[in-house]
Chain A
């Protein structure tokens, strides 16, 4: 029977073990993953106990899991004990002069203003930038007011855990359960921050929501956790990411995004991502292993995923839709580019459960250099999902002769009144097409860029306009050195 003495002894020992916690102002946890670290993260974020318990449950489950190896991507074994799972945002460099000039050249090409670059790279803001940052804060404040008037909640995930616990507890983990897969489980244990969006009944969100307005978003991308809920009749368009290349000391990025659409609601989720892909030999690039899933719970609900992935050393993600509600619609539009030594195994899963459900998949894969690009898609039409339809188009474009494009489609139709269509094409940019462009005075690089943009048109059309323009520029920049 534990006596008071033994209890105190235990506590004292515990304090000793958790010695570093006494320095609550510590900016980061030491490397490694164990229960202490998780408690530290939760403490730093001043989370309620139910959140900590949720994390611990996930962590315990993670210990029983094995890292999957079925994807067509090769990477050096990740040492989970060598990673730091919490570090507060702070300036890492004193000035832009310390930054890789090649990276700065990309910012130049993309027209990124100086203060943006500083924020993106974790450089101490210069004095000139102070005003600009202040402007961003006031801009964000104005938007928050407009949203508040409509009852729209748009805040960081951490804030939502504190301010809107009932909503978070209701929906978190309902689309991607904590036990879903190795990386989602890891995320569930150590997630850092992300977005929380709640659109109440009947409200059409008056503006596009973007991660740009979450000022401190940039340094928390390691294990991002995002939850978007659209109640009956609500709709929202959300933009994630930006075209400017982002570096991070942390190699593994395992985000989880959950979307919930109730009756007659719709959610449009667009991503333009350009995580640092590593140098020309592929060293130092980011591994982007993401679990994104949308649940079309309601009747006539709709969820659209649009992504332009040009960065990361390795991209492994399948933004998916569970089409539960009758007549619900799922869409997936994707452009994935792999150049130099990049690898991508990406696609989607459309699970048809309700009647008369529809899904559309348009995947454009572009490979250059020694890039390896794989489309992996699942279209599963369950027995009771009568009268359902899927249309899939996956096109691959090969630039040069050392890259690869692979397609792995899975189609399962369990009733006789549904229809699934699948079209695929593989092409190269013809020498005659390039010659034609050059005879009109257009440079080789501009020609390739123009032809590739034409190839991606159907996907770019789905992006909100400003994103589409940026995405086009990004594609041009990412294609450099892709041929020969």
Chain B
């Protein structure tokens, strides 16, 4: 099984279990994958000189290595997910004990961040870049309507 498939499987299972277990009136949930890598953490990388092994010594090994033509792409994944849920019908169980309908509003998002290194066949880093999610990870109190583009 490929790592990203396994990762998504684990995430889906976790999200399903955790959301399924939540049955209270209010819930704030957060899911994070790996520690975040900031610009300052990778300032030591000198393109054309630093090797992937040096990067791994500082940041740990990458999560994925892909071969693309003559180059190697090393990827570090770190992600952040947030979810909010409010059951506005929860209090009705005290008034209508035989029928307690759920009136749930909520929402969230899972933002994926990636730090990418492009290396040659001698493992020397030639390019590096971050891909940050813009604002997909947030607690959403109102699920209706789309954000303005």
Q: Do A and B come from one complex?
A: no
Residues of chain A at the chain B interface (Cβ within 8 Å)? none
